[in-house]
Amino acid sequence: MTESLIDTVTLNFDARAQWILNGALAMVMFGIALEISIEDFKRLFESPKPIFTGIFSQFIALPILTYALVLLIEPLPSIAMGMFMVAACPGGNVSNFITHLAKGNTALSISLTAAATLLAVVMTPLNLQFWGGLYGPTAVILKKIAISPWEMFRLVSLILGLPLLLGISLNRFNPVLAKKIGKILKTVSLLFFVLLVIIAFYNNRTIFVDYMFYVLWIVAIHNILAFLTGFSLARLMRLSKASVRSVTIETGIQNSGLGLLLIFSFFDGLGGMALLAGFWGIWHLVSGLLLAGYWSTKPTKTEKLA
């Protein structure tokens, strides 16, 4: 078995399991949205610099640097496509929790999660199509798959946008109920989603074991690049220490679950893409918690969003 075979391998994940995965991710997003209020969006106008920095880091800088990394290391086409997919996704589901552990600006992290999730409805399909189409080997994959940007936009809207709006609305009109539901739903839905991903891994364990060492080092380098992107931009914009931590974590913790969902929905579980997104989902938790553990020993003063 040669490494190039990974470009033709597809993972076993049937339509029924895919719909369950869709629903699980939507419930995760709804649980997160129950903790988001209209006031979080008001921060976009009250203190736009940290928000702008975080959004720019996630949706502009990271995809650009991912493209540069792909040109540098020249991974197999399906792996490169997976890198573009991860870079096109918004911040991950656990970024707020990791930011809190890191003694970062949790309010900024929540605001970025809300803003990035809404923007992802447009930016995720757009970035994937643009950067994937710009690189020759992945452009071939996109032509073979013939993805409809509208179909991807519609799915992302249903999985991210609708649960976010429903959760925020419930928090707005019945915050007590939202808080009660949120405490249970966020944890249960996230555990259920993780369980589904683990089952997907187990059903395809031979493929994951065969290509683990080829993919893992690429994931590690890509993830380090993501953290450095957020950290460098936040420092360049002279944000507070707490806000630097938030932007760094929001950029380095990507929603690989959304990436997997889109890979199964539009790329038929293409091996290299799914492996890259799957390993990213594990690795960024390890790296994020290690970074949070380090920063938690370096206390910072409570500061404003600047």
pLDDT digit string, tens, across residues 146-192: 666 777 778 788 777 888 888 888 888 888 888 888 777 767 776 77
Alpha carbons 293 and 290: distance in angstroms, whole number: 5
Please provide the distance, in angstroms rounded to a whole number, between the alpha carbons at the two ends of the chain.
53
Q: How far is CA 80 from CA 7, 123, 208, 226, in A?
A: 10, 18, 17, 15
Helix ranges (H only) for 157-204 are 162-173, 175-203
Helix (H, G, I), strand (E, B) or coil at 201: helix
Residue 52: Cβ within 10 Å count: 13
Q: Provide the token pair at 40.
A: 């979080």
Task: Work out the average pLDDT over 101-112.
Answer: 84
**Which amino acid appears at position 87 of this protein?**
A
Does the domain formed by 13-296 have CATH 1.20.1530.20? yes
Angle between helices 205-236 and 48-56 (to 10 degrees): 140
What is the residue whose two structure tokens read 């610099």? 49
What is the residue whose two structure tokens read 């930016």? 123
What is the residue whose two structure tokens read 């991903």? 197
Query: What residues contact residue 102 under an 8 Å CB cut-off, 6+ apart?
Result: 245, 249, 291, 292, 295, 296
What is the CA 45 to chain-centroid distance, rounded? Answer: 24
pLDDT at 275: 84
**Which amino acid appears at position 40 of this protein?**
D
Angle between helices 205-236 and 241-252 (to 10 degrees): 150
The percent of residues above 70 in pLDDT, for the chain, comes to: 82
pLDDT digit string, tens, across residues 124-135: 989 999 999 999
Radius of gyration over every alpha carbon of the chain, rounded to an integer in angstroms: 18
Query: Are 38 and 168 in contact, with CB atoms under 8 Å apart?
Result: yes
**Which amino acid appears at position 7 of this protein?**
D
Query: Are 96 and 110 in contact, with CB atoms under 8 Å apart?
Result: yes
Hey, where are the domains in the chain?
13-296
Mean per-residue pLDDT over the chain, rounded: 82
Query: Phi/psi of residue 146, each to 5°?
Result: 55, 60
Query: Are 290 and 227 in contact, with CB atoms under 8 Å apart?
Result: no
1 pLDDT band, cuts 50/70/90, is very low
Maximum average pLDDT range among 20-29, 142-151, 230-239, 257-266: 230-239
Query: Phi/psi of residue 10, each to 5°?
Result: -120, 145
Task: Work out the average pLDDT over 223-236.
Answer: 96
Alpha carbons 245 and 264: distance in angstroms, whole number: 32
Alpha carbons 61 and 251: distance in angstroms, whole number: 10
Global confidence as pTM: 0.82
